[in-house]
Amino acid sequence: RLQGKTALVTGSTSGIGLGIAKAFAAEGANIIINGFGEAAAIEAERAALAVLNGGKAVYDGADLTKPDEIEAMFKRADKDLGGVDILVNNAGMQFVSPVEDFPPEKWDMIIALNLTAAFHTIRHAVPGMRKKKWGRIIGTASAHSLVASPFKSAYVTAKHGLAGLTKTVALEVADAGITVNCISPGYVWTPLVENQIPDTMKARHMTREQVINDVLLAGQPTKQFVTVEQVAAIAAFLTRDEAANITGANLSVDGGWTAA
Ligand code: NAD
């Protein structure tokens, strides 16, 4: 179904991004994966994606906090894969700390990666999508684009910003065959979640089990972690013709968290 289309998924060497890349590759899209990690592991993922789509899967290691590296990634996509038809702004990181102790360099990095990178990728992607009169821009936002939790000031700020950017660009490109949406998961079991447990234990003076049950899943009425595959299925749906009139939306997949 996505044969001949090229999808760039940022932060796709791990977690949700990798799941989305797999879902697109399974539908035949050419894939650009991006993110950090161990070279051999990334190459194994790239090769597996190429088996899935029977075609092109390339890796680009652009550091998304660096606008010139984002630009270079788009130039390469234009040259090698005919441009980006589906853009997923997924790369993100978390840092947990009371605001008065929040390291300013962590603040800057989270805003750069979780928010500003999406501005740069979108401004590079839109001209090519306009020419083709077709495009899909999807952001992995978060329940934290709609509600807050203490000790996550930079993350919550960036995700609220990403939701605002999504709505704004959706309006700008609404008549150009391009849709712009974000998906807002609750807690998904990925390295990002696992890695924040120790800091949350410290910030809240809790055990690991208390953090999982009383913090992470406390606000998720289903009492289940969302799965990577459940998020990826929504991303895949948004690329379909049936989803052509879904734009500017923020789609929650949070086990009821933000209904409360
Ligand atoms: P993850 O840590 O498994 O993946 C993050 C990806 O971003 C990795 O591929 C990593 O290499 C990449 N990355 C980090 N810094 C980068 C940089 N400077 N340049 C390029 N790539 C970089 O995390 P995940 O849980 O899969 O999160 C993916 C997205 O989903 C994030 O935006 C996150 O905020 C969001 N999200 C996650 C959850 C959750 O519970 N896991 C919930 C809601 C939203």
pLDDT tens per residue across span 10-21 = 999 999 999 999
The string over 6-18, giving b where at least 16 C-beta atoms fall within 10 Å of a residue's C-beta and e elsewhere, is: bbbbbbbbbbbbb
Is the residue at 252 inside a domain?
yes
Is the residue at 143 inside a domain?
yes
The total number of structural domains that make up the chain? 1
pTM over 0.90: yes
**72-100 tens-digit pLDDT:** 999 999 999 999 999 999 999 999 999 99
**111-141 tens-digit pLDDT:** 999 999 999 999 999 999 999 999 999 999 9
Q: How far is CA 86 from CA 3, 123, 177, 219, 220, in A?
A: 12, 13, 12, 32, 30
Is the residue at 32 inside a domain?
yes
Q: Look up the ipTM and state it.
A: 0.99
Is the residue at 80 inside a domain?
yes
Where in the sequence is the domain holding 172, given as residue range(s)? 6-187+227-259
**Sheet (strand 135-140) strand order:** 57-60, 30-34, 6-9, 86-89, 135-140, 178-185, 250-253
Is the residue at 198 inside a domain?
no
Mutate to test the pocket of ligand 1, among 16, 88, 195 (most ligand atoms within 8 A of CB): 16
Is the residue at 137 inside a domain?
yes
Is 155 catalytic? The answer is yes
Split at pLDDT 50, 70, 90, the class of 55 is confident
CATH number of the domain bearing residue 56? 3.40.50.720
Is the residue at 213 inside a domain?
no
Answer for the pair 88, 35: CB distance below 8 angstroms, yes or no. no
Residue 36 in contact with ligand 1 by CB distance below 6 A: yes
Is the residue at 215 inside a domain?
no
